[in-house]
Chain A
Amino acid sequence: MQGKGDADLAVLLRAALAGDEKAYARFLERVAALVRAFARRRIVQGGVDAEDVVQDTLLAIHTKRHTWRPETPVEPWLYAIARYKLIDAFRRKGRHIEVDIDGFADAIPAVQSEETISERDLGRVLDTLSPGQRSVVESISVDGRSIGETAQALNMNETAVRVALHRGLKAIAARFGQ
């Protein structure tokens, strides 16, 4: 039952789990597109930002990527995570909605601008990081620097940058939905 799209994702994810940064970035970009479409199909009323669900799901995929079983297809795994995070988002907004993976397929997509909304939840969570973690995460994400460039710019060694990035992302993932 494994389609071509899934096989490609599995190749990228396997490479990522072996430490390939470029493959991982491509994997996450494709996942973001899939989850964005998934969330927009299911969010038919306001109150929940599709892009918040995308970011929350990506963070969960990142911190929980060891829960993928390499002998199984990728898509059921990532949609299970997306569904969990979507239900979480609805719950936070105080809406009771049954989310069915096959349902709502033809619902009208919620049209939203990606740039403005994603400032909201993620920006708020960034504010709760320690100053060191925050400057490392921002240097790599917003400024687009590599680990090495960040180490130079912030006058830290690379190991410390990696640790701060790793802890920062874990903290963001843990606090995103609160």
Chain B
Amino acid sequence: MNTDDLIKSMSADVADREMPMRRAWLLAALAAFGLAATVFFILIGPRADIGAAMQTWRFPFKFVVTLTLAFTAWKAVASLSHPDASRWRALRWLLAAPALIVAAIAVEVLTIPMDQMMPRLVGTNNMLCLVAIPAIGALPLAGFLAVLRHGAPASPGLAGAVAGVFAAAVAATFYAAHCIDDSPLFVALWYSLATLILALVGYAAGRSVARW
């Protein structure tokens, strides 16, 4: 079969329509929050004193960070699922959430006594954090990888890693409602490690499933 023959068969297939990427990512984001919420309420659920916690600044600030990360990672991975994406333009907004957490750490370090640093950094829930965020984020990550497979990322590994960050941010948004460790020191260390786990899984999976 020569190239002209191939073109004939492809133009005859013009009527077939795939779901546009924008809609696919919107559906994937909605499904991710739904799946994460389901797993969260089955596995751990919110902390008992959530009403009182809302009166502090540290507890609500966790959601500011996780939702910022979720939104920026969503934009980044959606962009990276197109072959002509500019990597830097896609990735630069991912700096927003780390910048927020760095600013919060500065406030924390300036306002709490020195002997409180280590206890707050280590926290009480760190192992649960490392297990719960990947567990809640696993199904969302699978969904995002499916959308990447539907797309055409020029760097499947990188796109998979950002999909992992997105899944971790969605999962962390729910996990933060359970966890009693509200210090930005704890969030910066343990949430980041949990995010790294899903990013690595996403990288490895993306390299195989998102190739085209």
Binding site for B on A (CB under 8 A): 16-17, 19-22, 24-25, 28-29, 32, 51, 54-55, 58-60, 62-67, 69, 72, 76-77, 79-81, 83-84, 114-115, 118-119, 122-123, 126, 137-138, 140-142, 144, 146-147, 162, 165-166, 168-169
In angstroms, Cα B20 to Cα A51, docked, is 29
Contacts of A77 in B (CB 8 A): 82-84
The answer, yes or no, to whether B116 is at the interface (CB within 8 Å) is no
Q: Which of A54, A67, A84, A144 contacts B8 (CB 8 A)?
A: A144
The answer, yes or no, to whether B11 is at the interface (CB within 8 Å) is yes
Contacts of B52 in A (CB 8 A): none
Cβ of B1 and Cβ of A123 under 8 Å apart? yes
Q: Which of A55, A66, A126, A166 contacts B19 (CB 8 A)?
A: A66
Contacts of B4 in A (CB 8 A): 29
Number of interface residues of B (CB under 8 A): 29
Shortest distance from the beta carbon of B52 to any chain A beta carbon, whole Å: 47
Binding site for A on B (CB under 8 A): 1-21, 81-84, 151-152, 154, 212
Cβ of A141 and Cβ of B8 under 8 Å apart? yes
In angstroms, Cα B121 to Cα A52, docked, is 56
Cβ of B10 and Cβ of A62 under 8 Å apart? yes
Cβ of B13 and Cβ of A162 under 8 Å apart? yes
Q: Which residue of A lies closest to B82 (CB)?
A: A67
Cβ of B3 and Cβ of A147 under 8 Å apart? no
Q: Which of B10, B14, B83 contacts A84 (CB 8 A)?
A: B83
Contacts of B2 in A (CB 8 A): 114-115, 118-119
Cβ of B84 and Cβ of A118 under 8 Å apart? no
Contacts of B12 in A (CB 8 A): 21, 140, 146-147, 165
